[in-house]
């Protein structure tokens, strides 16, 4: 007993010494990204291009969510040589590990900071589109929610590809299970405990979150234990599962790459910005990448493959820079056409979101986390998190919520609500999160319900801004270009308002701040939606898979780029339609399945 007590005391003393540094790290911002393009590649750097010493069996372009999975699985193969190229740096950072610190990662050094350009359907606003820039990719900056979507989503995948044996619900479920180590659902045919991706509940429940669940039940919405149980409807409310381990964010770099990096056959290059895939005689031969002021060519072995895992914005961008895309667009930028694939950069899908927020008594996340009037973490909460992995620092903010049908005849829910025990000063929920992370005041007392169109019909595009690979592509979210999405969000706001007005909040929730009581008819609600819509950070579809004779398909059902040998795309860009839920888990599943396809 004495020894055990001494160990606990020692841990407490060490943790105590770290609290001040921890609190300081939480208050400070990581280096912010300017959002400006990188330096132009000049002739001097072109002249300095050199070739890596060896050819690789697999060159993985992007060390993000799917790239880390492939790096692990492909390097398990004896005799293979695997190279990972990641444009960002390490993700070994305190703020990435602390779930509540997610608000400090937007517009930081870990974010590409993409923005669209004054979209007419969004009141001529630029739409901020965060994408992770570090080993682990967007799994480093997302809100960690573990959702697979509805089984009907994968019926649509199998229909779009004509490959039921690959992409039907029964075909993808084993790979969802293979990936996860689920600490919550231990006796379910839909889950597994032996995988690498840790899934758990947030180890904290705010009183307002519990009241939210009561309010939903009072209105007749069923409480669900598992939104990923495909034997039931996705409809209902409850606690969302998250990709955490011992109260820490569990990125794909932590789960798949950390131990794999010890293998002698795996090389990982960071700060390595891919600029082109070279193709000769219809076969992908190498990847040219910029690292510092040098250009490097990484060659692939004759029977090897180049695997694009750069994400739904940068995979199509790199294809176009390499001469693979719509020939008309390539010719506009004087890029020689290697393969005319009109679908590259099209079919961009995302989850548009708006917010309903009310003032409330100071019993929410702000009260639990911070010293009053600051965003300085309470020392006891820092100690609790450091020693036990529990408490409000494990909260992602939106770890309670539900899925809803805004019309009774829908086959699947069209709206997700995320409940947050706090509010910001901005009705653009993503801007509010960013402001909270950069301010001295933390969350304001209140509640927020983020209303998300999870099966939106609008589509956007990724296009070239120039032929310079260091210029960001031109992205258009396409939000609200289909009027059905506006109606969906209107109806979602009505559901959110019903819940927020419930007696279950025991008088602790007060007046509506956003949209505000003056927003009470169709015209004003549409204006509110168009002027505040933002992303729920789930971009997919820009290199979509389909039948080989589909003129808009970019990759075939085995994820091979149509018309180019030795080149595949393995990330969320290949999804033909967006799953109804956050897309991190489907992206990991897709990479697990791709690894088997590649090594077959």
Residues 319/326, Cβ–Cβ less than 8 Å: no
Check the annotation: does 573 bind a ligand: no
Buried b (16+ CB within 10 A) or exposed e, 156-184: bbbebbebbebbbbebbbebbbbbbbbbb
Residue among 356, 340, 329, 289 at smallest CA distance from 492:
356
Q: Give, for 304, the enclosing helix (H) or strand (E).
A: strand 294-308
Q: Is 82 helix (H, G, I), strand (E, B) or coil?
A: strand
Residue 499 Cα distances to 241, 340, 413, 417, 419, angstroms: 22, 50, 17, 10, 10
CA–CA separation, 503 and 3 (whole Å) = 51
The verdict on whether omega for the bond into residue 503 sits within 30 degrees of 0, i.e. cis, is: no
CA atoms within 13 A on the CB side of 379: 9
Residues 105/96, Cβ–Cβ less than 8 Å: yes
CA–CA separation, 397 and 394 (whole Å) = 9
Q: What is the DSSP string of 120-163?
A: GGGTTBPPEE--B-BTTGGGGTS--B-----HHHHHHHHHHHT-
Residue among 445, 492, 419 at smallest CA distance from 214:
419
Residue among 428, 447, 398 at smallest CA distance from 528:
428
Calculate the dihedral angle through the C-alpha atoms of 56, 60, 61, 63, rounding to the nearest 10 degrees: -130
CA–CA separation, 368 and 365 (whole Å) = 5
Check the annotation: does 477 bind a ligand: no
Buried b (16+ CB within 10 A) or exposed e, 470-502: ebbbbbbbbbbbbeebbbbbbbbbebbbebbeb
Going by C-beta distance under 8 Å and a sequence separation of 6 or more, which residues neighbour residue 218? 502, 503, 504
Return the sign of the alpha-carbon dihedral for residues 500, 506, 512, 517: positive
Residue 270 Cα distances to 16, 82, 502, angstroms: 34, 14, 50
Residues 70/257, Cβ–Cβ less than 8 Å: no
Q: Is 350 helix (H, G, I), strand (E, B) or coil?
A: coil
Residues 354/514, Cβ–Cβ less than 8 Å: no
Calculate the dihedral angle through the C-alpha atoms of 231, 236, 238, 244, rounding to the nearest 10 degrees: 50
Q: What is the CA radius of gyration of the chain?
A: 23
Q: Is 251 helix (H, G, I), strand (E, B) or coil?
A: coil
CA–CA separation, 447 and 424 (whole Å) = 9
Binding residues for FAD: 65-66
Provide the annotated binding site.
Answer: 65-66
């Amino acid at each position: 007993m004495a020894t055990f007590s001494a160990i606990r005391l020692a841990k407490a003393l060490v943790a105590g010494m770290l609290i001040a540094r921890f609190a300081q790290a939480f208050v400070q911002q990581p280096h912010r990204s300017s959002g400006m393009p990188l330096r132009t590649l000049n002739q001097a750097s072109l002249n300095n291009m050199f070739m890596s010493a060896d050819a690789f069996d697999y060159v993985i372009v992007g060390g993000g969510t799917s790239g880390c999975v492939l790096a692990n699985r492909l390097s398990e193969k004896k005799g293979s040589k695997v190279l990972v190229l990641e444009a960002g740096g390490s993700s070994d950072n305190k703020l990435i590990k602390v779930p509540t610190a997610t608000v400090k990662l937007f517009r930081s050094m870990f974010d590409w900071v993409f923005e669209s350009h004054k979209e007419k359907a969004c009141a001529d606003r630029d739409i901020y589109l965060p994408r992770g820039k570090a080993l682990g990719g967007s799994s480093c900056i997302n809100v960690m929610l573990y959702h697979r979507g509805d089984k009907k989503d994968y019926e649509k995948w199998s229909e779009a590809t004509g490959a039921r044996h690959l992409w039907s619900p029964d075909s993808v479920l084993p790979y969802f299970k293979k990936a996860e180590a689920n600490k919550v659902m231990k006796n379910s045919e839909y889950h597994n405990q032996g995988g690498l991706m840790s899934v758990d509940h947030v180890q904290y429940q705010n009183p307002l979150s519990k009241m939210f669940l009561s309010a939903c039940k009072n209105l007749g919405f069923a409480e669900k234990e598992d939104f990923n149980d495909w034997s039931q409807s996705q409809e209902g409310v409850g606690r969302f599962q998250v990709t955490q381990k011992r109260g820490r964010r569990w990125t794909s770099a932590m789960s798949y790459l950390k131990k794999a990096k010890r293998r002698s056959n795996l090389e990982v290059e960071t700060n390595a910005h891919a600029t082109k895939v070279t193709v000769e005689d219809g076969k992908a031969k190498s990847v040219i990448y910029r690292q510092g002021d040098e250009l490097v060519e990484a060659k692939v072995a004759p029977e090897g493959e180049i695997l694009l895992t750069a994400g739904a914005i940068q995979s199509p961008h790199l294809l176009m820079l390499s001469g693979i895309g719509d020939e008309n667009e390539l010719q506009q930028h004087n890029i020689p056409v290697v393969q005319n694939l009109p679908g590259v950069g099209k079919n961009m899908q995302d989850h548009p979101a708006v917010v309903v927020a009310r003032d409330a008594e100071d019993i929410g996340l702000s009260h639990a986390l911070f010293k009053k009037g600051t965003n300085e973490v309470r020392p006891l909460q820092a100690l609790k998190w450091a020693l036990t992995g529990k408490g409000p620092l494990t909260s992602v903010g939106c770890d309670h919520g539900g899925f809803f049908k805004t019309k009774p005849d829908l086959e699947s829910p069209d709206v997700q609500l995320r409940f947050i025990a706090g509010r910001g000063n901005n009705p653009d929920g993503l801007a509010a999160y960013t402001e909270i992370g950069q301010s001295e005041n933390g969350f304001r007392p209140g509640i927020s319900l983020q209303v998300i169109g999870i099966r939106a019909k609008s589509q956007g595009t990724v296009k070239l801004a120039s032929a310079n690979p260091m210029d960001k592509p031109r992205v258009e979210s396409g939000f609200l270009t289909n009027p059905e999405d506006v109606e969906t969000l209107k109806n979602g706001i009505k559901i959110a308002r019903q819940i927020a007005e419930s007696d279950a909040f025991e008088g602790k929730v007060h007046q509506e701040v956003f949209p505000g009581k003056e927003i009470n008819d169709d015209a004003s609600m549409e204006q509110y939606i168009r002027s505040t819509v933002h992303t729920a950070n789930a971009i997919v579809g820009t290199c979509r898979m389909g039948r080989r004779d589909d003129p808009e398909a970019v990759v075939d059902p085995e994820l091979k780029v149509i018309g180019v040998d030795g080149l595949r795309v393995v990330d969320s860009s290949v999804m033909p339609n967006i799953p109804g839920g956050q897309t991190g888990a489907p992206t990991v599943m897709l990479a697990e399945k791709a690894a088997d396809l590649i090594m077959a």
